Structure 1
Amino acid sequence: MPIDDEVIFFENLRRDDVPIVGGKNASLGEMVQGLGAKGIRVPPGFATTANAFRRYIKANGLDTLITDTMRAYGEGRMPLHKAGETVRAAIVAGSWPTETEAALRQAYRSLSERSGQADLAVAVRSSATAEDLPDASFAGQQETFLNVSGEEELLSACRKCYASLFTDRAITYRELKGFDHMQVALSVGVQHMVRSDIGGSGVMFSIDTETGFDKVVLIDAAWGLGENIVQGAVTPDEYQVYKPFLDTDGLRPIIEKKLGAKEKKMIYAAAGAAEPIRNVPTSKAERAAFVLSDDEVLDLARQAAVIEDHYGQPMDMEWAKDGVTGDLFIVQARPETVQSRQGAQTFKRYSVGAHGDTIVTGLSVGEQVATGRVCLIETPEDIDRFVDGAVLVTSTTDPDWVPVMKRASAIVTDRGGRTSHAAIVSRELGVPALVGCGNATFVLHDEQEVTVSCAEGDVGHVYEGLAEVTVEDLNLTDVPATRTKVMLNMANPATAARWWRLPADGVGLARMEFVIANTIRVHPEALLRFDEVQDAGVRAEIEELTRGYEDKTDYFVDRLALGLSRIAAVAYPNPMILRMSDFKTNEYADLLGGAQFEPEEANPMIGWRGASRYYDPAYREGFRLECRAIRRLREVIGFDNVMVMIPFCRTPEEADRVIEVMKEEGLERGLHGLQTYVMCEIPSNVVLAEEFAKRFDGFSIGSNDLTQLTLGIDRDSDKLAPLFDERHEAVQWMIRTVIRKAHESGAKIGLCGQAPSNYPDFARVLVEAGIDSISVVPDSFVQVKKHVAEAEKS
């Protein structure tokens, strides 16, 4: 019998061989054949065929047993665990047909000889012939065995792979997806082990798994062998890379780096141990260090982009880093099966109204909100007590949990990242999940009423009680085209990618201070003058936040550039107008270490804020850090669509002083295409608009402050709230006047204030005045766009 009927080496397989060797092995063959020349590194190996599986079943007389057992389960005459146990035991107890055993031994010897090692250590993975189809991931449904060495151990592992076709989770998944149990065969992939036990490993997607944003690569990484990440047993490091810049010389388009806890790692066990692998705790040094260098992150991202381009669709991949050679390998690639199939023209927006206290936070998966009662389950043995519609709370999940996951209203786990089993399956099932919470099983209890919110960015929340939840359908099929640009106001990098499908003309206002407050959290002066920080508790917090940065100011520059890059990525290639920090002194004082460096002002609203800080010796060095972050954002990461806007600039002379500091830091108007804007929010900006236009490319009207200073009303005053109205005729006069003056001076002008978001009909006033752009919060975009179109028609 020819060996190719039993065993086929990867280099002889292509992706259309799924019926022969399953999706996983066919894909490995496709990459070996088609992508090796493009730099994709795949460990060598071979696959057993579906025919070999069927011969094994037939030779051991198992066809009837399997058919009868599955029928008994389907008719309710046998419980799931008993049915699966019966079939698995029979398969493991079987004997290999002579030809199949000979082919396996011969292929293993050949692979060992190629590698120059006797009894080569291999990974033995299952590959079902119906797996990894466009509408089903089969994530982790069958077993994987690592560090298998020797012919006898290989034969044993292959039997166990065959048996894993009938684990409880695999049976349940096929039932869920409507696959006939007897029509699915199993191929076994045998692959040279990458020494990631002393390196690292992980998962990556060529698409954002939460929003479907198709311009990023998402990479998760942990120390040791990769099973811990797939199983959700650890909280990994997370990286995001912007794909369009990967081939541009000189750019390093990493837009997110998040350090994970990486609680343990899977390594080889000692020779002679009962199991070939074991888990050990990670050291403090390993937990504090990133698994991948920036160069390695970019290497993996480029491989992901090449694979995606070759397959013509978003891909889900697993990778491993060899701790001996440092080489990075792709060990699996399959189609991404959730976001890539979402409709692009409609999506639901969930929002949480009044809610209780935050009990637990974690990584959000699913962009939905769910309410219900907690059902806390510690081990799979207690799965039977799960209540339909409850919020499943557990330490981690694996495929054994799928039967209850699909019955849950939400899932909350202590461990895991965005590519863990819990995250992958919850997306496929359409169930919101919070993963990597750390303490959910400790804090939450059975029967507790909670709200699980995954609709507020990267960080999800479990709120006490049943919150007010609203769901809105946004339909993008009938958004009209307009001459007036309609842009977005954004502040939170964690939520920016939610809105990538909106046909916006860019970001008209990105608020730097939000990123500083929520991502960096430290006052710039406390980093510049750390030795002077007096509060011991504050010093300890700053030390923890800046861990890994030799110079604490690099923390500010790096994290600010990364945070802003996630907003710029959604806008690109359209412009992103970035307002430099516009905290008031009392808000600056709230940052870590800030109270020591900020004065107390009677009226911070019109005090030392905006431009007046940027050249002042008391903050100038802090402003220089902001400028350095913008240079990194534009020139290193690559987002040259970013424009700089100066807020609360009272006089042209003050503008000159700010421009000089920016120039000293390499941010010069016109250099590398940089455009600069000034906020129009003070009456002097209107009165002297022609002078400001000589110094800036454009204006952005801040209607809140302009109303405050035109009408003489503190916008934070409850007493005067009824009088505060951006639509007042005096404010409208200011807006019409500055639009006219800007255009006469050849400058662009837009409005980024709150008025059009609060009053969409206000867009008509702006269009009639001839404004170039209107920037609104994403929630209001569709409505404002329609108002603008109607105004333009009339």
Structure 2
Amino acid sequence: MAENMIWFENLKRADVAKVGGKNSSLGEMVSTLAPKGIDVPPGFATTADAFRAFIAANDLEDRIAAEMDALASHKITLAEAGRRVRGMIVEGDWSEDLRTDIGAAYAELARRTGKETPSVAVRSSATAEDLPDASFAGQQETFLNVEGEAALLAACKRCFASLFTDRAISYRTVRGFDHMQVALSVGVQQMVRSDLGGSGVMFSIDTESGFDKVVLINAAWGLGENVVQGAVNPDEYMVYKPFLGREGVVPVVERALGAKEKKMVYAGEGRATKNVPTSRAERSRFVLSEEEIVELARQACTIEGHYGCAMDMEWARDGETGRLYIVQARPETVQSRAGAGAMKSFTLTSKGERLLSGLSVGGAIATGQVCLIEHASDIDRFVDGAVLVTSTTDPDWVPIMKRASAIVTDHGGRTSHAAIVSRELGLPAIVGTGNATHVLHDEQEVTVSCAEGEDGYVYAGIADFEVEDIEVGDLPETRTRIMFNMAAPAAASRWWRMPSDGVGLARMEFVVNNAIKVHPLALTRFDQITDDKVRDEITVLTRAYETRTDYFVDTLALGLSRIAAVHHPNPVIVRMSDFKTNEYAALLGGAQFEPKEENPMIGWRGASRYYSEGYRDGFALECQAIARARREKGFDNIVVMIPFCRTPQEADKVLEVMAENGLRRGDDGLQVYMMCEIPSNVVLAEEFAKRFDGFSIGSNDLTQLTLGVDRDNEQLADVFSERDPAVQWMIEQIVTRAHAAGAKVGFCGQAPSNDPDFARLLVGYGIDSISVTPDAFRAVKANVAEAESGRTK
């Protein structure tokens, strides 16, 4: 028995040669991590020796070697070689001892599980897979809901044969593995009834940026194959690992609802599984509760800690018991091996019409002609260097994926096959577009951009773009804090390796505009909306939440928390919404609640809105989101900033409304800053300093209002200048007077990166911090270091 079968609890991760990477990892978890709360369904593995015994008993070794030699010398095609070898194996006979041992182990599993004929997953585990530098993910077959000894024996034989699928042969050839030196083990594992629950994939690292302080989880209804294969657009969750041990904190920083168009379930009448459409209710709710998300994240951290490296895991929730199981775990092989010292930054300089969007993978930009292939049977017509456009991919597609310039799919999430392989190959990919195969056509010239944050875009035509190599290990130290201006939460983790001192300006309105999309009053005063179309759109957007207002609060709290997570414990200064009335009106449902102003730039904006009855309940939602991010999620590094505060009396009113909504200055260490962008802010600096902890100079508005110049007026462009003596006097005054009053002062703007002399001026004034966009960080850091040292270029 021991020569042919080993139970998982008797295996360790060092047993790759005996049972392959997948089964040795399962054994490691069962034998060592069960006491730490990791649930792995019971099972056993056939050994590599059992595979070799099967091959020997059927005299197949020389025959298989001959086929591989014929393939290597181009006498037969890959498809012919694979088909012949698989046929030999499937047609082979079981020896009496192998048949007996498999049957006996299955009977023992029946006894352990209390089921007469337990349903099992039958998984292939090659002796060259899940290695630190080669994942071999999905190269061999898995068979689900296999029931009965006869079906199990047939599935085991098909697993043996899958060592020679076309994709496996091709992958081993590329990686330099000898076909005849690789053996296959079969893992036989009790099925988790995730067909009645849900399942998915998770990584203990951000798969796009390599940010190592988060767990990324994808989830869909039913069995997990659809998520792995990218056949559905799953829910996506992200959890901040350092806070998982904190009492009373739920550090979920992303919760995005996926379409989850179908689910894989058990099938009857001799069929193991089938796909069925999900119900409208299933599509409109999250698969996992917050408690389950956090529990899975804790398990991911436990597994990562045990293995000592970033991990790629598959999980399943039993719909009968509600228990969460880990059904696979392997080392993550892309981001964890990426170089820490250098980054590439891609920037579009021109672009055509936006054709479609989806989830971005890879952070790069590529151009080329579309090659649209809907079925794997047609991959022979792929054109090298083209943009591969298809519905979804599986391991059969790998040989052409590596010849593509970019990949675009209709379906899939960040943990789908297309996404994983694209990362491994270093290709930009956009997954889950929904309609790429309908919108794009063969030979169409397009640009695939994954360099604009979480969403990827396909543009018409060949766009111009720039690529910059960014070294992060050679930056000088500065006394002045150099911080980021940040808008998109998804872009925050892209720059996590940059040694910034925090975020000097996080623009709340970006999250509202791009993630929430709805005017807050359209949620608090939903009954007043007269447009039925608007009501229907809001109903769809808020469908996963018990209340419409919780949709706003939760989505905003998540977006701000994701930025705060990347920079914790450094401060992240969040400016409360600073839309103008025309911009508020452009939000869904906003036109009904906004007045028309002749000059919104100096109209009803900033502080004046927050205490007004015309927006007070909208501002309350903003405050509740900040409070949730700080208290429930743990990000007490969030600092609140009030824009366009004209008078100290306005400041008092805003602070009072904030306190009513759970944000009292000083409580739980809460700091409140104000934007300094109006001359009155400078003139009354001492009065404002009594009410706020710091100032952030908004140089654009301060210049505009000091000089009386519309910054967007081309005819006055030569007058608008931050270097004007009047503007410089304002900046110097606010720094000097704020410091005398014990308040900090920062500067938000690009001028220090474009103008070294301006950086010297700010340093000379004694500015505490300078905040710029991430792409300008290096230049500003260098300019400030020179200014502090007194050197000039």
Please classify the TM superposition score into its range, dividing by the shorter chain length: over 0.9
Secondary structure, counterpart of 1:40 in structure 2: coil
Task: Give the superposition deviation at 1:761.
Answer: 4.4
Partner of 1:105: 103
For each residue in 1:724-762, what CA deviation from the matched residue of structure 2 results, as whole angstroms up to 9, or x when unmatched? 111222211111111111111111111113322443542
Give the whole-Å Cα distance in 2 for the aligned partners of 1:765 and 1:425. 49
Q: Establish whether residue 612 from structure 1 lines up as the match of residue 594 from structure 2.
A: no
Q: What letter is aligned with 1:264?
A: K
Structure 2 vs 1, CA of residues 760 and 366 (structure 1 numbering), >3 Å: closer, same or farther?
farther
Return the match for 1:725 from 721, 725, 748: 721
1:150 lines up with 2:148 in the alignment: yes
Conserved in 1, the CA contact under 8 Å of 2:753 and 2:783?
no
1:213 aligns with 2:211: yes
Identify the residue that residue 258 of structure 1 maps to in structure 2. 256
1:433 equivalent in structure 2: 429
Query: What are the Cα deviations for residues 543-588 of structure 1, in whole angstroms up to 9, with x where unaligned?
Result: 2111133321111111111111111111111100010111111111
Q: Which residue number in structure 1 is paired with residue 63 of structure 2?
A: 65
Secondary structure, aligned partner of 1:225: coil
- Provide TM-score, normalisation by structure 1: 0.98
CA distance in 2, matches of 1:330, 1:473: 39
Give the distance between the partners of 2:739 and 2:307, measured in 1 at CA: 49
Deviations 1:399-421 (A, max 9, x none): 10011000000111111111111
In structure 2, the CA distance between the partners of 1:730 and 1:402, relative to structure 1 (3 Å rule), is: same
2:355 to 354, 359, 362: 359
Q: Of 656, 662, 665, which aligns to 2:661?
A: 665
Structure 2 match to 1:514: 510
Quote the Cα distance in structure 2 between the aligned partners of 1:141 and 1:160.
13
Aligned pair partner of 1:682 in 678, 691, 702? 678
The one-letter amino acid of 2:487's match is A
- Alpha-carbon deviation of 1:32? 0.7
Whether the 8 Å CA contact 1:704–1:754 is kept in 2: the answer is: no
SS at match of 1:198: coil
Give how far 1:100 is off.
Answer: 2.1
Given residue 163 of structure 1, which amino acid in structure 2 is its aligned partner?
Answer: A
Q: Provide the residue aligned with 1:782 in structure 2.
A: 778
| Contact 2:12–2:24 (Cα < 8 Å) also in 1 | yes
Q: Could you tell me how far apart the structure 2 residues matched to 1:64 and 1:727 are?
A: 81
Match of 2:36 in 1: 38
Could you tell me how far 1:514 is from its partner in structure 2? 1.0
Deviation of residue 98 (structure 1)? 2.4
Residue 722 of structure 1 aligns to a residue whose secondary structure is: coil
Classify the secondary structure of the residue corresponding to 1:162.
helix
Deviations 1:247-290 (A, max 9, x none): 111111111111111111111111x32x2111111111111121
The answer to whether residue 631 in structure 2 is matched with residue 635 in structure 1 is yes
Provide the residue aligned with 1:24 in structure 2: 22
Contact 2:753 2:759 in 1 (8 A): no
Which residue number in structure 1 is paired with residue 708 of structure 2? 712
**1:583 aligns to what?**
579
Question: Compared with structure 1, are the counterparts of its residues 466 and 142 closer, same or farther at alpha carbon in structure 2 (3 Å cutoff)?
Answer: same
Q: Is the 8 A contact 2:285 2:543 kept in 1?
A: no
**Which ranges of 4 or more aligned residues in structure 1 deviate by more than 6 Å?**
none
Confirm or deny that 1:469 pairs with 2:459. no
Match of 2:187 in 1: 189
Aligned to 2:197: 199
Confirm or deny that 1:82 pairs with 2:80: yes
- Partner amino acid for 1:620? R
1:206 Cα shift? 0.6
1:562 to 558, 561, 574: 558
CA distance in 2, matches of 1:553, 1:759: 44
Q: For residues 441 and 673 of structure 1, what CA distance do their matches in structure 2 show? A: 52
Q: Are 1:208 and 1:217, in contact at CA under 8 Å, matched by a contact in 2?
A: yes
1:539 aligns with 2:535: yes
Residue of 368, 384, 406 corresponding to 1:388 = 384
Which residue in the other structure is 2:487 paired with? 491
Q: In 2, Cα distance between the equivalents of 1:90 and 1:183?
A: 18
Alignment-mate amino acid for residue 790 of structure 1: E
Equivalent position amino acid for 2:584 in 1: Y
Of 77, 92, 95, the residue aligned with 1:94 is: 92
C-alpha displacement at 1:110, in angstroms? 0.8
* Structure 1 residue 651 displacement after superposition: 1.2
CA deviation after TM superposition for structure 1 residue 630, in Å: 0.5
> What is the CA–CA distance in structure 2 between the aligned matches of 1:729 and 1:61, rounded to whole Å?
91
Aligned length: 790
| Equivalent of 2:413 in 417, 420, 433 | 417
Which stretch shifts more, 526-535 or 391-400? Answer: 526-535
Query: Please, which moves more after superposition, 753-762 or 125-134?
Result: 753-762
Pairwise CA distance, 1:691:
1.1
Q: Shift in Å at residue 147 of structure 1?
A: 0.8
Residue 288 of structure 2, aligned match among 289, 292, 311? 292
| Number of the residue aligned with 2:119 | 121
Counterpart code for 1:419:
T
Within 2, Cα distance between the matches of 1:583 and 1:760?
31
- The aligned residue for residue 694 of structure 2 is 698
* Gap regions ≥5 residues in structure 2: none
Partner of 1:748: 744
In structure 2, give the amino acid aligned to 1:402: V
Q: Deviations over 1:580-636 (max 9, x none)?
A: 111111111111111111111111111111111111111111111110110001000
Candidates 478, 501, 506, aligned match of 1:505: 501
Query: CA offset at residue 99 of structure 1?
Result: 2.2
TM-score normalised over the length of structure 2: 0.99
Q: CA deviation at 1:494?
A: 2.0
Residues in 2 aligned to 1:285 and 1:590: alpha-carbon distance in whole angstroms: 30
Any idea what the Cα deviations from partners look like across 1:398-444, whole Å, max 9, x if unmatched?
Answer: 11001100000011111111111111111101111111111111111
Q: Does 1:248 align with 2:235?
A: no
Equivalent AA in structure 2 for residue 344 of structure 1: A
Task: Specify whether residues 761 and 117 from structure 1 end up closer, same or farther in structure 2 by C-alpha distance, changes over 3 A only.
Answer: farther
Q: Is the 8 A contact 2:286 2:544 kept in 1?
A: no
Q: 1:328, 1:115 → 2: CA distance? A: 17
Deviations 1:190-243 (A, max 9, x none): 001000111111000011101111111111111111111111111111111111
- Find the residue that maps to 2:536 and give its secondary structure: helix
Aligned counterparts of 2:441 and 2:13: Cα–Cα separation in 1: 47
Do 1:703 and 1:754's aligned partners in 2 also have CA atoms closer than 8 Å?
no
8 A contact 2:6–2:46 mirrored in 1: yes
Partner of 1:180: 178
Structure 1 residues without counterparts, runs of 5 or longer: none
User: The residue matched to 1:695 in structure 2 has which SS?
Assistant: coil
Root mean square deviation of aligned Cα: 1.0
| Corresponding residue of 2:227 | 229
Which residue is 2:165 aligned to? 167
State the identity %.
69
Cα separation, 1, equivalents of 2:207 and 2:443 = 31
**CA–CA distance in structure 2, aligned partners of residues 550 and 425 of structure 1:** 38
**Aligned mates of 1:158, 1:345 — CA distance in 2:** 46
Mapped to 2, the partners of 1:288 and 1:599 lie a distance apart of 34
Matched, 1:457 2:447: no
**Letter of the 2:645 counterpart:** C
C-alpha separation between the residues in 2 aligned to 1:423 and 1:255? 21
Task: Give me the whole-angstrom Cα distance separating, in 2, the residues matched to 1:360 and 1:604.
Answer: 32
C-alpha distance in 2 between matches for 1:776 and 1:261: 36
User: Distance between the aligned counterparts of 1:654 and 1:332, measured in 2?
Assistant: 57
